[in-house]
Amino acid sequence: MFGINGGELLVLLVVAAVVIGPERLPAYAEQLAGWVRRLRDLARDTRERVGAELGDPDVDWAALDPRRYDPRRIVRDALLDDPPARTPSRPAVPRPGRTAPAAAAATTAAFVDAPVPAAAGGPAPFDDEAT
């Protein structure tokens, strides 16, 4: 608590009692008691409001453990809910330095403007139309 040990706190209380004096000490003690009461009421009200907002206090925290999170299972369950939609497959775009199969080479003419991945270790391709 603020780096003050018990002995230092006792010395501070004695100095405060001497500075405040015996005639004003009861008024300050009463004021401190009122602050403590208000703080206690505020904490109780906050606890009640949080309990009311969260609802059921019987939450299964083990089911919400992030270590049990399996993204593959969640994606698989989400995909199984809807019927599989068939999308036309896009022909493979040949990478630089590789030869495309004859069937794919004929269809790649439609994808000339498709972005080509940068070679490993080389600079990224420059896009002059990028914002």
pLDDT digits (tens, 9 = 90+) for 64-116: 788 888 888 888 888 886 555 555 555 555 556 555 555 455 554 444 455 55
Domain that holds residue 24: 7-54
Residue 44's pLDDT is: 96
User: Per the domain annotation, does 71 fall within a domain?
Assistant: no
User: Per the domain annotation, does 63 fall within a domain?
Assistant: no
> What is the distance between the terminal CA atoms of the chain, rounded to a whole angstrom?
54
Which pair of structure tokens corresponds to residue 68? 């049990």
User: Per the domain annotation, does 42 fall within a domain?
Assistant: yes
116 vs 17: which has the higher pLDDT:
17
User: Per the domain annotation, does 31 fall within a domain?
Assistant: yes
Total tally of structural domains belonging to the chain: 1
User: Per the domain annotation, does 29 fall within a domain?
Assistant: yes
Q: Would you say residue 30 has pLDDT above 70?
A: yes
User: Per the domain annotation, does 126 fall within a domain?
Assistant: no
Alpha-carbon torsion, ordered 115, 121, 126, 131, to 10 deg: 90
User: Per the domain annotation, does 99 fall within a domain?
Assistant: no
